[in-house]
Amino acid sequence: MAESIWTRSRAAAPARKTLNRSEIVKVAIELLDEEGLAGLSVRKLAAKLASGATSLYWYVETKDDLIDLVIDEIWGEIDVPDPALAGWRNGALLFGHSLRAAVIRHPWLPEVMYTRPSIGPNAMKLGARGLTLFGAAGFTGNDLDYAMGSVMAYTLGTASAEVSTREISRKSGQSLTEWAEVVMQEAEATADDDMRESIRRRVNRDIDTTLSESFTFGLEALLDGLEAKVKKTR
């Protein structure tokens, strides 16, 4: 595996007031949000920055380095509350919702976040604050790592599936609600009685509300389990 941008020594870039790494990362995220991973190229990025492609390489050596930088920037968007202010459980709920929102804002993220270790400064800060949050619940040792990891795994998995659903509806040319209505109609035509009743409960409901409620239900259930588990160890 190539050495990470976070551990590699960095040559000094030429002094230039109109360009810096932070601005490159900001514009790269805008481009990714607009066009996805397939639309990210040094040429397009340079054009948005009104710069020459060669100049960018003084600040970011490779596309992989750029991906590492933008991923770490996204980690910096996520709120991990102080348990002294929010309490551990409310803090965990806010953390989960903030993480879900970040994935939905940046739908390209699931394609790359599992392909490389997250060891940048924002990732490390998020991890440290997360351990403080779940430590306040009473978790210690390996259980502390597993508790935080469970919430992250549930949130990232659920949000990644939601992003895929939203992308399917986008490609269909329909709104998410319109696409869901068509799916529900097709499903009802092939379902047995038990499934048909379940489908009808979801018809004529705002799909965004349903997705948010479903996510919250699962996260609350997970936290119930974590709360019960830590009580057993006290």
Cα–Cα distance for residue pair 92/152, rounded to 1 Å: 10
| pLDDT for position 49 | 87
Provide mean pLDDT across the span 52-69. 84
Mean pLDDT of the chain: 87
Cα–Cα distance for residue pair 40/34, rounded to 1 Å: 10
Work out the pLDDT band at 107, boundaries 50, 70, 90.
very high
| pLDDT for position 201 | 67
| pLDDT for position 128 | 97
The answer to whether the Cα torsion of 72, 78, 80, 85 is positive or negative is positive
Work out the pLDDT band at 20, boundaries 50, 70, 90.
confident
Question: pLDDT tens across 137-160, in order?
Answer: 999 999 999 999 999 999 999 999
Work out the pLDDT band at 199, boundaries 50, 70, 90.
low
Q: What are the structural domains of the chain?
A: 21-61 (1.10.10.60), 75-173+204-232 (1.10.357.10)
- Residue 186 vs residue 208, higher pLDDT: 208
Q: Are 118 and 69 in contact (CB under 8 A)?
A: no
| pLDDT for position 149 | 96
Work out the pLDDT band at 116, boundaries 50, 70, 90.
confident
| pLDDT for position 34 | 92
What pTM value is reported for the model? 0.86
| pLDDT for position 156 | 95
Question: pLDDT tens across 189-198, in order?
Answer: 776 777 777 6
Cα–Cα distance for residue pair 92/72, rounded to 1 Å: 21
Low-confidence winner among 90-104, 136-150, 159-173 (lowest mean pLDDT): 159-173
Q: Got the DSSP string for 91-152?
A: HHHHHHHHHHHHHHHSTTHHHHHTSS---SHHHHHHHHHHHHHHHTTT--HHHHHHHHHHHH
